[in-house]
């Protein structure tokens, strides 16, 4: 297969990035990428260990004489797997390589997420481990699994195996920033029992698509639309104007991404055809106007599928689902009082699914304050149980708290000043990072997080800056040289 990134420097970084882009690495299915990293360690005669969750730790001794510090480099192997259905609906993330493309300074994957979150961290670490010329301390490179599925790899990892007390996480997406803290998070499943009755009438598909989506932590402050809740709003509007039966409802691919698409299948009496189409046309315009300047490609439309007899939700099941979708909180819950522009607490409804017996809504909550995260979870639990549903916590991970006295942060700050002639930005982060897990597990660990410019992560528009990747790698090496 032709190498698209050949000749782009540093060649070891981009060479490894291209290699891992050909390896399936869905959350929960990291065996092949874990095998690749183990094979790398064996090839380079490096000490390694792999646990039952496919986390891999590789140790590289320093070339320096005398006793040296141990620095942990950390990133995750898995990636969010989203694709653009109008481009390549047949792409199979379980076996197909990503189709990389380069235009000027930008690397993309054709029709899918790029996986630079966090594939570039894997590439950085492999590049460091493979370069025997570097004057750096002892390195522990920890490659974790299933970060995009509740940080399961990091949570399960036995951190007592780590000797280092400096940890550089490489899962940030903005050059020139040093992260100092991050939000904790919780994923919950709200499940409602449903019943069906047979209905005959004219079937319609109601579709919302073309939304920006994005990372449910990093982009939650951008005011982007949530396709699931917008569809719930439209269905409620139809309810107020005419009767209909609900056959199908679904949307969203992961709780960590703001959903871009959602679909409902309904059945109506023929006499309401024109009314339904006029409602959709009217409210499509209203909602698009509300998101003017934000969701420029949003489409809301109805397709007449002809006469049909099919099982549809009984009126009570439909009513309870409508109530949930129109009352559940969404987006920013609270902004930070201390840091301008930093979201403190948020909620994202990421996936909804209707089956023969249940309707489920998967929700991701984030907060810099553990107490606020728990209070929000209590609110959701109370809401779903009030309408006869069930609340299930699927995962919970801690916040990475700010530490005022960080030698690693000071070193990284001073080096950035010296290399680039300006101050880096120190900031908190509303998205969850594995830093919080290791902060909780490792007493006294000193942590920072850095990374190159990656835009539109968790969407098919994700792209990585080549020049930024080069600069941040040089910056990383310089930090290591000065520890």
Scored b (16 or more CB within 10 A) or e, 77-109 reads bbbbbbbbeeeeeebebeeeebebeeeeeebbb
Scored b (16 or more CB within 10 A) or e, 423-442 reads ebebbbbbbbbbbbbbbbbb
Taking the C-alpha atoms of residue 302 and residue 224, their distance in angstroms, rounded to an integer, is 22
Q: Which two tokens mark 341? A: 């522009």
DSSP string, 316-349: HHHHHHHHHHHHS--EEEEE-SSSTT-EEEEEEE
Which of 82, 140, 146, 147 is catalytic? The answer is 147
Q: Which residues contact 220 (CB under 8 A, 6 or more apart)?
A: 258, 331, 332, 343, 346, 348, 366, 430
Which of 19, 78, 219, 446 is catalytic? The answer is 78
Other C-beta atoms within 10 Å of 340: how many? 7
Residues 451 and 168 sit within 8 Å (Cβ to Cβ): no
Other C-beta atoms within 10 Å of 358: how many? 15
The CA dihedral of 274, 278, 281, 284, to the nearest 10 degrees, is -120
Q: Which two tokens mark 299? A: 């489409």
Taking the C-alpha atoms of residue 453 and residue 421, their distance in angstroms, rounded to an integer, is 19
Q: Is 47 a catalytic residue?
A: no
Instruction: Find the angle CA(148)-CA(154)-CA(158) to the nearest 5 degrees.
Output: 165
- Candidates 177, 144, 257; CA nearest to 451 is 177
Other C-beta atoms within 10 Å of 220: how many? 24
Q: What is the DSSP letter of 460?
A: T
Other C-beta atoms within 10 Å of 135: how many? 10
Q: Is 78 a catalytic residue?
A: yes
Q: Which two tokens mark 414? A: 């001073």
Residues 173 and 179 sit within 8 Å (Cβ to Cβ): no
Scored b (16 or more CB within 10 A) or e, 386-396 reads eeebebeeebb
Residues designated catalytic: 78, 147
């Amino acid at each position: 297969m032709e190498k698209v990134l050949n000749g782009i420097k540093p060649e070891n970084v981009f060479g490894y990035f291209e290699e891992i882009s050909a390896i399936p690495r869905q959350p929960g299915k990291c065996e092949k990428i874990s095998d690749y990293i183990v094979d790398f360690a064996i090839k380079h005669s490096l000490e390694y260990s792999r646990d039952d969750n496919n986390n891999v730790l590789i140790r590289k001794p320093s070339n320096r004489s005398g006793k040296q510090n141990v620095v942990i480099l950390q990133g995750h192997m898995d990636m969010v797997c989203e694709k653009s259905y109008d481009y390549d609906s047949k792409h199979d993330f379980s076996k197909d390589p990503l189709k990389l493309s380069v235009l000027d300074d930008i690397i993309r994957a054709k029709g899918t997420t790029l996986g630079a979150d966090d594939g570039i961290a894997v590439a950085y670490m492999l590049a460091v481990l493979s370069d025997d010329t570097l004057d750096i301390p002892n390195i522990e490179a920890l490659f974790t699994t299933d970060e995009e599925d509740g940080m399961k790899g990091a949570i399960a990892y036995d951190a007592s195996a780590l000797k280092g007390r400096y940890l550089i996480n490489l899962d940030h997406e903005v050059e020139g920033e040093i992260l100092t803290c991050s939000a904790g998070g919780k994923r919950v499943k709200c499940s409602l029992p449903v019943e069906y009755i047979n209905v005959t009438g004219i079937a319609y598909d109601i579709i919302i698509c073309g939304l920006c989506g994005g990372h449910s932590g990093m982009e939650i402050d951008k005011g982007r639309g949530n396709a699931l809740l917008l569809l719930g709003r439209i269905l409620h509007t139809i309810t107020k104007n005419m009767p209909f039966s609900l056959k199908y409802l679904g949307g969203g691919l992961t709780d960590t991404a703001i959903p871009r698409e959602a679909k409902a299948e309904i059945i109506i009496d023929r006499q309401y055809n024109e009314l339904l189409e006029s409602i959709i046309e009217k409210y499509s315009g209203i909602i698009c106007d509300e998101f003017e300047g934000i969701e420029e490609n949003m489409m809301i439309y109805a397709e007449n599928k002809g006469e049909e007899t099919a099982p549809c939700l009984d009126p009570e099941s439909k009513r309870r689902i409508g109530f949930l979708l129109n009352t559940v909180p969404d987006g920013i819950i609270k902004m930070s009082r201390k840091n301008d522009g930093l979201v403190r607490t948020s909620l994202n409804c990421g996936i909804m699914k209707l089956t023969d017996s249940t309707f489920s809504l998967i929700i991701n909550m984030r907060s810099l304050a553990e107490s606020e995260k728990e209070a929000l979870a209590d609110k959701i639990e109370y809401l779903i149980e009030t309408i006869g549903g069930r609340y299930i916590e699927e995962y919970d991970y801690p916040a990475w708290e700010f530490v005022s006295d960080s030698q690693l942060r000071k070193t990284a700050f001073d080096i950035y000043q010296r290399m680039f002639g300006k101050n880096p930005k120190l900031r908190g982060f509303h998205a969850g990072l594995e830093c919080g897990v290791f902060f909780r597990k490792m007493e006294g660990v000193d942590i920072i997080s850095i990374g190159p410019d990656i835009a539109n992560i968790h969407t098919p528009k994700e792209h990585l800056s080549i020049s930024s990747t080069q600069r941040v790698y040089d910056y990383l090496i310089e930090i290591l040289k000065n520890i």
